[in-house]
């Protein structure tokens, strides 16, 4: 995975590569799919959700440019794998999950693997962010939004960086928004296809 899926595609952040080499991805997928845990694609985890392709997890972490001191907001915990990766790269991760069953699964996965010490899993509508602990120096959204939620931009620190898939249900752009000096700059990291961001500032359920 590290050599063929990540390094070969341009993942150069050694902190990201080290984190993903340490975290047992097989512990974050359903038992029936453990043999496919490191394959080059997303895996269904139930409730209409997936664990993202390893490359996408690595790319999203890399574009955030984390140095280790940040408080990170993650929208869409899923099984907890990306939260574990972010937890290795930042000081604190607040991860918001809409599906109660997945929030519980993620908490258990993070607990028993030992990668949840600085990760808090919150049950709620992540499209609104989590204003109680804002601002965040980095925000990662693991679901496709029809447009960038204003609530997330408001909770992004200055300076800060937000990565989010934006576009219709099947085809999105992975947007990287950088807030600096009161201005927001936007770029596209790649094309992608994520499950929809459901909620008050996403797609209707």
pTM of the model as a whole: 0.97
Domain annotation covers residue 204:
no
Tell me, what CATH number does 94's domain have? Answer: 3.40.50.150
Could you list the residue range(s) of the whole structural domain that residue 117 is in?
2-192
Residues 119 and 83: beta-carbon distance below 8 Å: yes
pLDDT on residue 143: 97
pLDDT on residue 205: 72
pLDDT on residue 26: 97
The residues of the chain scoring below 50 in pLDDT are none
Domain annotation covers residue 45:
yes
Helix (H, G, I), strand (E, B) or coil at 16: helix
Domain annotation covers residue 116:
yes
pLDDT on residue 169: 86
Domain annotation covers residue 198:
no
Beta strands in 47-182 (DSSP E): 49-51, 71-75, 92-97, 119-123, 136-141, 156-166, 172-180
Domain annotation covers residue 8:
yes
117-167 pLDDT, tens digit each: 999 999 999 999 999 999 999 999 999 999 999 999 999 999 999 999 999
Which residues are known to be catalytic? 52
Domain annotation covers residue 113:
yes
- Unique residue bearing structure tokens 């408080």: 71
Distance, CA of 23 to chain centre: 15
């Amino acid at each position: 995975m590290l050599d063929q899926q990540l390094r070969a595609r341009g993942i150069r952040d050694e902190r990201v590569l080290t984190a993903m080499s340490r975290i047992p991805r097989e512990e974050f997928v359903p038992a029936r799919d453990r043999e496919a845990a490191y394959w080059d694609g997303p895996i269904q985890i139930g409730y209409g959700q997936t664990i993202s392709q390893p490359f996408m997890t690595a790319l999203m972490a890399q574009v955030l440019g984390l140095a280790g001191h940040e408080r990170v907001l993650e929208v869409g915990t899923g099984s907890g794998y990306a939260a574990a990766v972010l937890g290795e790269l930042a000081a604190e991760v607040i991860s918001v999950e809409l599906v109660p069953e997945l929030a519980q699964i993620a908490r258990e996965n993070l607990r028993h693997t030992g990668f949840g010490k600085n990760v808090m899993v919150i049950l709620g509508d992540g499209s609104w962010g989590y204003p109680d602990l804002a601002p965040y120096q980095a925000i990662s959204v693991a679901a496709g939004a029809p447009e960038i939620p204003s609530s997330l931009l408001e909770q992004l620190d200055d300076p800060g960086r937000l990565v989010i898939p934006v576009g219709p249900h099947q085809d999105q752009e992975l947007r990287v928004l950088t807030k600096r000096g009161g201005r927001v700059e936007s770029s596209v990291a790649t094309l992608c296809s994520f499950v929809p961001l459901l909620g008050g500032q996403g797609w209707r359920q």
